[in-house]
Amino acid sequence: MTESVQTGSNVSIALLHYPVYDKNRQVVATAVTNLDLHDIARSAKTFGLFRYYVVTPVPEQRALAERIGRHWLEGWGSTYNPKRKAALELMRVVPGLDDVLHDLEDVYGRPAKIVMTGAQGRTGNISCADLVGLLRDFDQPYLLVFGTGWGLTEEAFARADLVLEPIKGPGDYNHLSVRSAAAIILDRLLGR
């Protein structure tokens, strides 16, 4: 298999709706957003990822995400827009981060390295360029974790094997949507 076929095949992405902060730094579970499902699935498909995990402990929210997925995978939407079907086929809806890790270990036979992302710089951040080098070990699965709301909690960050540098532009403003941040990070890591 050529490298270009394998690129991204050891990388998955998880969007956590819990535990994340709200505006007042309270720990909350955020609501599933329709365009988070579509946009991140399409980015994941574009950059050759293995799976896209939508993570929420709230059963009703999982049911909503599943219903949106089924609409494009099985229903009228699957024939109306096959490109969305191809993207949403990567999506798995699970209650927690442990479920993601168990799933990946089942597939790859070894634990995934957890790469947390966020808008704040942290000591020991890894750069996208350095992570690109690590991703070339195709036997090692990697999970890129993104938070909704005002970002992943400290408790979530405590589980990281690696923390990725924040995306910055020329100025101080770095309040990208999670959809935009995920797209940029996937491009930096896996775009050619």
Residues binding a copy of itself (CB under 8 A): 4-5, 7-8, 23, 35, 38-39, 42-43, 45-48, 80-81, 83-84, 86-87, 167-171, 173-177, 179-184, 186-188, 190-192
In the complex, the smallest distance separating the C-beta of residue 44 from a copy of itself, rounded to whole angstroms, is: 9
Distance CA 82, CA 86 (A): 6
Cis ω for the linkage preceding 19 (within 30 of 0)? yes
C-beta closer to a copy of itself: residue 3 or 106: 3
C-beta closer to a copy of itself: residue 23 or 76: 23
Most distant pair of Cα atoms in the chain: their distance: 49
DSSP state of 175: -
If one counts every other C-beta atom within 10 angstroms of the C-beta of residue 170, the result is 5
C-beta closer to a copy of itself: residue 23 or 158: 23
Distance CA 83, CA 42 (A): 8
In the complex, the smallest distance separating the C-beta of residue 191 from a copy of itself, rounded to whole angstroms, is: 6
In the complex, the smallest distance separating the C-beta of residue 128 from a copy of itself, rounded to whole angstroms, is: 10
In the complex, the smallest distance separating the C-beta of residue 158 from a copy of itself, rounded to whole angstroms, is: 26
C-beta closer to a copy of itself: residue 134 or 184: 184
The tokens describing 65, both together, are: 């995400």
Cβ–Cβ < 8 Å for 21, 27: yes
Length, in residues, of the chain: 192
If one counts every other C-beta atom within 10 angstroms of the C-beta of residue 30, the result is 20
C-beta closer to a copy of itself: residue 100 or 190: 190
In the complex, the smallest distance separating the C-beta of residue 189 from a copy of itself, rounded to whole angstroms, is: 10
